[in-house]
Amino acid sequence: MARVAMVTRTIQSTKVKALCVDINEQKPFENEYVLSGTYKDAKSLMKALEKVANTNTVKVVHIKASEIVEKLYGMTEQEFLERAKELPPRGTKENKE
């Protein structure tokens, strides 16, 4: 069987265990979230988490734990060509239309 060419990328993300409150039921609960990238401190992590997790009925109130997770992702070159957005060559500015 021939080896299939792959496009790979190692990505760091932050896994967060958060204390949340269901506003309608007025009950606390824990939930886990995965955020892209890493964060310099708890304040910036909380700000990013609130953007992702807060809704009309759920609010994040405290970060109980967090860890940085590094994973290798990949897809075949054919899948990449089908799904990727074409960009201008490096070092050039994108044409404005």
Complete DSSP assignment for 60-91 = EEEEEEEEEEEEEEEEEHHHHHHHPPP-PPTT
- 46: helix, coil or strand? helix
Q: Residue-wise pLDDT tens for the chain (97 aa)?
A: 788 999 999 999 999 999 999 999 999 999 999 999 999 999 999 999 999 999 999 999 999 999 999 999 999 999 999 999 999 999 887 655 4
pTM of the model: 0.76
Tokens of residue 5, six digits: 């060419």
Domain-located, residue 97: no
Question: CA-based angle 6:7:13, to the nearest 5?
Answer: 125
Domain-located, residue 94: no
Tokens of residue 13, six digits: 């993300």
**How large is the C-alpha radius of gyration of the chain?**
19
Full domain range(s) for residue 68: 6-83
How many domains, the chain?
Answer: 1
